[in-house]
């Protein structure tokens, strides 16, 4: 069986592309980092891949708003080809800045003329948050979260607060099992307080999938915990084969095998 191919899309300011490509390679895929300008020149490039990933970083310096410029390029110049990519049953993953791009481009959530039913805003702390967080997964729908209950991953963002357009939109996303990754605390209970919820996201949301479960955006960085030694307390933890984040990439590759 052919090895699934992964297109890791980068833009000026992206800084997690190589780590993300490496994670997909470790998971058994074949990854290629592609600059967005190549897609603008040849929009059919994604047709040769099974997975599209928009990694973290600061695309276009986060000028205007985090992920907004890359999102507009996708919406106005690559929307049709990526809609075909989705319709073909392929997978799309957005990590941190990539999550912001998926939200603002409409690739992840879209209510037609009303636009996305949710967005990502400035953290309640008013500053860049770089810390490890605990996460709870609801894997029933999302392909990337299959077999995962909990994770510990780092976050690194200034605009990661998930906010729905209105209570009805939030309830609809919840009912459709699209709010599939949430921040967790040392004790059960919601809503969480800072820093367990590092940005003030409504319903403690850390990741969202589309209705099909094949498009997934998340604020934490799974590519930064693919080896047990990546965890700051790895010498105090039980031995493990891999870091928590690697299973997300393995699930994407396994989907096509």
Which positions are catalytic?
96, 221, 223
Q: Cis check for the bond before 231: say yes or no (omega within 30 of 0).
A: no
For tokens 């498009």, the residue is 215
What does each C-alpha distance from 87 to 35, 148, 169, 251 come to in angstroms?
Answer: 23, 26, 24, 19
> Residue 127, Cβ neighbours under 10 Å: how many?
9
What is the chain's percent helix, strand, coil content, to nearest 5?
35, 25, 40
Nearest to 69 by CA among 100, 42, 95: 100
How far is Cα 173 from Cα 154, in angstroms, rounded to an integer?
A: 25
Backbone angles phi, psi at 69, to 5 degrees: -70, -45
């Amino acid at each position: 069986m052919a090895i699934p191919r992964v297109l890791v899309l980068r833009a000026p300011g992206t800084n997690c592309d190589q780590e993300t490509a490496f994670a997909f390679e470790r998971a058994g895929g074949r990854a290629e980092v592609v600059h967005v300008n190549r897609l603008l020149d040849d929009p059919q490039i994604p047709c040769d891949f099974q997975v599209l990933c928009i990694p973290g970083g600061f695309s276009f310096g986060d000028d205007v708003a985090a992920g907004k410029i890359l999102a507009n390029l996708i919406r106005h110049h690559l929307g049709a080809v990526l809609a075909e990519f989705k319709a073909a049953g392929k997978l799309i993953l957005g990590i941190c800045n990539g999550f912001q791009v998926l939200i603002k481009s409409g690739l992840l959530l879209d209510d037609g003329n009303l636009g996305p039913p949710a967005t990502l805003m400035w953290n309640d702390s008013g500053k860049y948050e770089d810390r490890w967080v605990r996460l709870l997964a609801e894997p029933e729908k999302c392909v990337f979260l299959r077999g995962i209950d909990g994770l510990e991953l780092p976050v690194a963002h200034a605009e990661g607060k998930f906010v729905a357009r209105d209570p009805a939109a939030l309830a609809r996303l919840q009912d459709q099992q699209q709010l599939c990754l949430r921040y967790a605390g040392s004790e059960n209970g919601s809503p969480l307080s800072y820093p367990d919820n590092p940005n003030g996201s409504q319903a403690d949301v850390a990741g969202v999938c589309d209705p099909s479960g094949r498009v997934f955006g998340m604020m934490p960085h799974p590519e930064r915990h693919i080896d047990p030694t990546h965890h700051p307390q790895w010498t105090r933890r039980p031995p493990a084969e891999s870091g928590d984040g690697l299973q997300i990439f393995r699930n994407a590759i396994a989907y096509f095998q």
